């Protein structure tokens, strides 16, 4: 084998500097995603290990990294592997993570009807479509809508051992809902402690199967039930959904403060129904006022993860049990949900404890 002293780890590193990943917003070396550099004569092999699911982007990442390395003088052969490794994260003080669940993402809102469930379900489906193992827990005691949105209305979970429950499955996502266990028309007269106890059981007695993310659709509001749940569920981070109306924004502020109070990081804000697009003429109108979500995100120093239009097809597809991400995967709204999901997963990935040094396992055989 002919040696090529010019090809060193530093040369490869320099070649990758400036290749900014659009999701990580950093290059792969700075993001500690570049691993296992092997240099063998004129051959260079490298693995990119992403801390978030992005199956749809693997090909493009492989091509971009290969192009950079192939341009190094003397390199004749390049092999790039791209994979995802989702890491379990710390949860708020005093709680243990849930067995079989790496990360819990709570989706919350200051008040009802802002599109929290639609956001939670599409977020879960988008994470799954990128290759993650995802569960969805409908903790919305006042209006459990996930069975309907996922075409599972009337289904009931089974129990193998009489103690735990098997989650149901829809579109590759493991699903559990308070709605599977109560009559659809039963009045919600449960008192707070009963509600929190029931939801705690639902979370812990469901046999979640090796989840990267469990998305929890929280009950709307910021009262005692929500506070207790936020304190009891071992949550990695929270996504707050709001509409641009001032009053909803005021409520959303309370939601943000509640999570801050119990030490749960806010992953970001989703502004829903931000703009109405007329289905006849295509005219876009900010019926609830413009830019409120962005201002609030700036005020609280959190990220605006995305803004969804008021779009009739979002409601129709949810009502029909095929939410936008699976019902209209090529739509603009689906693309926005997928972008939001990626931002959430990147935010969760950024909290990685894995502070491995740059290029672990470097093997250079230039002899």
Ligand X SMILES: Nc1ncnc2c1ncn2[C@@H]1O[C@H](COP(=O)(O)OP(=O)(O)OP(=O)(O)O)[C@@H](O)[C@H]1O
Identity of the residue, 275 or 362, whose beta carbon is nearer to ligand X in the bound complex: 275
Burial 60-88 (b: 16+ CB within 10 A, else e): ebbebbeebbeebeebeebebebebebee
Identify which range of 67-75, 138-146, 164-172, 287-295 contacts ligand X by CB under 6 A.
138-146
**Which position among 59, 315, 354, 360 is part of the footprint of ligand X (CB under 6 A)?**
315
Tell me how far, at minimum, the Cβ of 241 lies from ligand X, in Å.
Answer: 6
**Which position among 69, 106, 108, 118 is part of the footprint of ligand X (CB under 6 A)?**
118
**Which position among 113, 193, 223, 360 is part of the footprint of ligand X (CB under 6 A)?**
113
Helices (H), the chain: 9-16, 58-70, 116-129, 146-149, 192-204, 224-232, 246-261, 292-300, 312-319, 324-327, 332-350
Inter-residue contact 279 to 249 (CB < 8 Å): no
**Which position among 15, 136, 270, 318 is part of the footprint of ligand X (CB under 6 A)?**
318
Render 74-117 in DSSP notation, one character per residue.
T--EEEEEEEE-PPP---STT-PPPTTEEEEEEEEESSTTSSHH
Which residues are bridge partners to 44 per DSSP?
39, 78
Told to check if 109 binds ligand X by CB under 6 A, we report yes
Q: In this structure, what are the phi and psi dihedrals at residue 65, rounded to the nearest 5 degrees?
A: -70, -40
Tell me how far, at minimum, the Cβ of 292 lies from ligand X, in Å.
Answer: 15
CA distance 199 to 219: 10
Inter-residue contact 268 to 347 (CB < 8 Å): yes
> What is the CA angle 303-216-87, rounded to 5?
70
110 is in an annotated binding site: yes
Identity of the residue, 44 or 121, whose beta carbon is nearer to ligand X in the bound complex: 121
Identity of the residue, 44 or 238, whose beta carbon is nearer to ligand X in the bound complex: 238
Q: What DSSP state is assigned to residue 124?
A: H
Q: Are strands 237-242 and 266-271 parallel, antiparallel or unpaired?
A: parallel
**Which position among 41, 97, 112, 321 is part of the footprint of ligand X (CB under 6 A)?**
112
Which residues are bridge partners to 48 per DSSP?
34, 82
114 is in an annotated binding site: yes
Whole-angstrom Cα Rg for the chain: 23
Q: In the block, which residue shows the tokens 């990360």?
A: 103
Identify which range of 113-121, 204-212, 231-239, 283-291 contacts ligand X by CB under 6 A.
113-121
131 is in an annotated binding site: no
Q: Kindly determine how many residues on this chain lie close enough to bind ligand X according to the rule CB under 6 A.
A: 20
**Which position among 122, 145, 148, 174 is part of the footprint of ligand X (CB under 6 A)?**
145
Please provide the distance, in angstroms rounded to a whole number, between the alpha carbons at the two ends of the chain.
Answer: 8
Tell me how far, at minimum, the Cβ of 140 lies from ligand X, in Å.
Answer: 5
113 is in an annotated binding site: yes
Told to check if 126 binds ligand X by CB under 6 A, we report no
Q: Are strands 363-365 and 34-40 parallel, antiparallel or unpaired?
A: parallel
Identify which range of 47-55, 76-84, 109-117, 280-288 contacts ligand X by CB under 6 A.
109-117
Identity of the residue, 47 or 140, whose beta carbon is nearer to ligand X in the bound complex: 140
Tell me how far, at minimum, the Cβ of 114 lies from ligand X, in Å.
Answer: 4
Told to check if 314 binds ligand X by CB under 6 A, we report yes
Tell me how far, at minimum, the Cβ of 207 lies from ligand X, in Å.
Answer: 26
Told to check if 310 binds ligand X by CB under 6 A, we report yes
Identify which range of 42-50, 66-74, 258-266, 311-319 contacts ligand X by CB under 6 A.
311-319
**Which position among 4, 84, 103, 117 is part of the footprint of ligand X (CB under 6 A)?**
117
- Which residues, 220 to 279, sit near ligand X by CB under 6 A? 220, 272-273
Nearest to 233 by CA among 276, 256, 262: 262
112 is in an annotated binding site: yes
Told to check if 311 binds ligand X by CB under 6 A, we report yes
The tokens for 31 are 């993001």
Inter-residue contact 219 to 141 (CB < 8 Å): yes
Torsion of CA 341, 343, 345, 349, to 10 degrees: 180
Q: Which residues are known binding-site members?
A: 110-117
Q: Which residues are known binding-site members for ATP?
A: 110-117
Residues that bind ligand X (CB under 6 A): 109, 112-118, 140, 143, 145, 220, 272-273, 308, 310-311, 314-315, 318
């Amino acid at each position: 084998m002919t040696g090529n002293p010019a090809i060193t780890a530093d040369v490869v590193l320099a070649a990758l500097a400036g290749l900014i990943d659009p999701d990580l917003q950093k290059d792969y070396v700075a993001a500690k995603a570049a691993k296992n550099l092997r240099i063998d004569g004129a051959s260079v092999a490298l693995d990119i290990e992403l801390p978030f699911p992005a199956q749809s982007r693997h090909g493009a990442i492989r091509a971009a990294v290969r192009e950079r390395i192939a341009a190094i003088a003397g390199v004749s052969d390049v092999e790039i592997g791209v994979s995802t490794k989702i890491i379990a994260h710390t949860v708020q003080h005093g709680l243990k993570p849930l067995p079989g669940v790496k990360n819990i993402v709570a989706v919350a809102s200051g008040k009802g009807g802002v599109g929290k469930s639609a956001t939670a379900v599409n977020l879960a489906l988008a994470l799954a479509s990128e290759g993650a193992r995802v569960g969805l827990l409908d903790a919305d005691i006042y209006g459990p809508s996930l069975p309907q949105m996922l075409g599972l209305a009337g289904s009931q979970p089974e129990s193998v051992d009489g103690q735990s429950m098997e989650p149901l499955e829809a579109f590759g996502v493991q699903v559990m809902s308070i709605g599977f266990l109560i009559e659809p028309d039963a009045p919600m007269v449960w008192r707070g402690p009963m509600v929190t106890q029931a939801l705690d059981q639902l979370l812990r007695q469901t046999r979640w199967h090796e989840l990267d993310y469990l998305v929890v659709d929280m009950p709307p509001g910021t009262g005692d039930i929500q506070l207790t749940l936020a304190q009891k569920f071992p949550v990695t981070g929270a996504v707050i959904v709001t509409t641009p109306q001032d009053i909803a924004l005021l409520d959303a502020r309370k939601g943000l403060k509640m999570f801050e109070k119990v030490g749960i990081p806010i992953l970001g804000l989703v502004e829903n129904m931000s703009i109405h697009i007329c289905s006849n003429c295509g005219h876009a109108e900010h019926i609830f006022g413009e830019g409120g979500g962005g201002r609030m995100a700036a005020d609280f120093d959190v990220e605006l993860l995305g803004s969804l239009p008021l779009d009739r097809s979002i409601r129709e597809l949810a009502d029909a049990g095929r939410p936008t991400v699976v019902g209209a995967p090529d739509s603009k709204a689906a693309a926005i949900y997928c972008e939001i999901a990626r931002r959430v997963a990147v935010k969760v990935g950024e909290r990685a404890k894995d502070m491995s040094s740059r290029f672990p396992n470097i093997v250079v055989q230039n002899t």
